[in-house]
Copies of this chain bind each other. A is one copy, B any other.
Amino acid sequence: MTSTNSVGIVETQLFTFAEDEPFCLESGASLGPVTIAYETYGQLNADRSNAILICHALSGSAHAAGFHCAEERKPGWWDECIGPGKAFDTDRFFVICSNVLGSCYGSTGPMSIDPRTGKPYGLNFPVVTVGDMVRAQVKLIDHLGIDQLLCVAGGSMGGMQVLEWAAHHPRRVKSAMPLATTAYHSPMLIAFSEVGRQAIYADPYWNHGDYYDAGKKPDAGLAVARMVGHITYLSEESMHQKFGRRLRNIERYGYEFDTEFEVESYLKYNGNAFTRRFDANSYLYVTKAMDYFDLSQPSGSLAAAFAGSEHVKFLVVSFTSDWLYPSYHSKKLVSALMAVGADVTYLDIQSSWGHDAFLLEVETMTELLRSFLGRLVREEAVALPSSAPKPQMATTSRVSVIAAEKDLPLAHEALA
């Protein structure tokens, strides 16, 4: 299933922190052992200046590109933007993606074995924050021998990690791409998180998080949580386009409670599929980390959070139909960044795809990311890795001029 512009067959790797260094969490708890699952694509250049960290969203994994084996049907979650000649060009950049702390794709989380009991942590796993997730990534970057990332990029919860890097580890990043995200989780986001958690708590098979050795998991509750999430990732308009009021496999109403509408079928399918790939306890922990995220604290000023980030180059992107992370969140972020004199490029992209647009608007995103990265390569004189094919010039595109417009009104015209 690989193609010419794919990174091809890749393998998830594991990095376990040194045992003599306990990993201290924001809560005050300490955690150990800690393992972080990660993948890398492309090669480090001689001066280790071409590394890009990709941060995943709620349900993502380290598997951002390529295939784990020739039989794998779907590539990694951001394969459309990571690969030879793609937006994150692996002929040019060394791309890293790691699974967040608390998740269930190889990094330490509630499914992992608690060394004190020899059993899975369950709810004994400590609550982690986006700050904790990022500090674990910092240790991974140290382990890989990278002093400074050329770029850290991600959408949704991935974008929160990007902002955390820029705010709290500014010396370690040259540029940051927070996409379809926010600097603080809004009450509506907290509300949707909490509904998902309540759906899991309500499932008797959840059993206060202690289900790993039981025959049944809280699949019904997790499916409901995912269905709620799925609605919020779409827009009213995209749902009209995708489903309308079409019935599935029937001509007229059945006057019963079977699945009748296409949209119901889609939600049920995705809710059920999710239970085969995600852990309910991880859903609790990762959503809780998002709810706690608020860069404006403790000072109350978002600009204060970025006081040391004035040298970081930012590409901030929002999407007009994203009602979950509305554009005004990005605009507030941009105002804070400009207040500290950071170099900010901001686009509010016209799209009907809702929050999912950051993954679905591939052409626009490719043009935009390539242009931004091309400028970085020129300005930072980033060398190619030794094994790279002959250099390509960064694409000249309409969006490459936007960086110069940062004193103009924040909402730029949409790309075509």
Contacts and interface: CB of A to CB of B under 8 A. Distances in A.
A186 B227 contact: no
> For the complex formed by this chain, how many copies does it contain in all?
2
Contacts of A184: 245
Contact of A202 (B220, B244, B253, B256): B220
Interface residues of A, number: 57
A130 interface: no
Nearest to A128: B255
Interface in A76-105: none
Q: Interface on chain A toward B: helix, strand, loop, or mixed SS?
A: helix
A236 interface: yes
Contacts of A188: 231, 234, 236, 239
A103 to B, nearest CB: 17
Interface string A323-360: 10010000000000000000000000000000000000
Interface stretch (A30-38, A162-170, A288-296): A288-296
A257 B191 contact: no
Interface stretch (A39-47, A261-269, A311-319, A379-387): A261-269
A203 interface: yes
Contacts of A240: 186-187
Nearest to A218: B202
Contacts of A197: 257
A388 B239 CA distance: 51
A191 B123 contact: no
Nearest to A127: B255
A191 to B, nearest CB: 5
Given A223-B202, A323-B236, A187 B245 contact: yes
Interface in A237-290: 239-240, 242-245, 253, 255-257, 261-264, 267-268, 271, 284, 288
A187 B29 contact: no
B224 A194 contact: no
Interface in A193-211: 194-195, 197-199, 201-204
Contact of A236 (B186, B267, B268): B186
B267 A194 contact: yes
Contacts of A127: 255-257
Contacts of A48: none
A304 interface: no
A190 interface: yes
A383 B202 CA distance: 56
23 contacts: A27-B253, A28-B255, A186-B239, A187-B236, A187-B240, A187-B243, A187-B245, A188-B239, A190-B245, A190-B261, A191-B239, A194-B227, A194-B263, A194-B264, A194-B267, A198-B220, A198-B224, A198-B268, A201-B220, A202-B220, A236-B326, A253-B292, A323-B323
Given A198-B227, A236-B323, A261-B291, 9 more contacts: A186-B236, A191-B227, A194-B261, A195-B267, A198-B268, A199-B199, A202-B223, A228-B228, A245-B294
Report the 5 A-B pairs with minimum CB-CB distance, sorted nearest first: A202-B220, A27-B255, A127-B255, A187-B239, A187-B263
Interface of A: 26-29, 123, 126-127, 184-188, 190-192, 194-195, 197-199, 201-204, 220-221, 223-224, 227-228, 231, 234, 236, 239-240, 242-245, 253, 255-257, 261-264, 267-268, 271, 284, 288, 291-292, 294, 323, 326
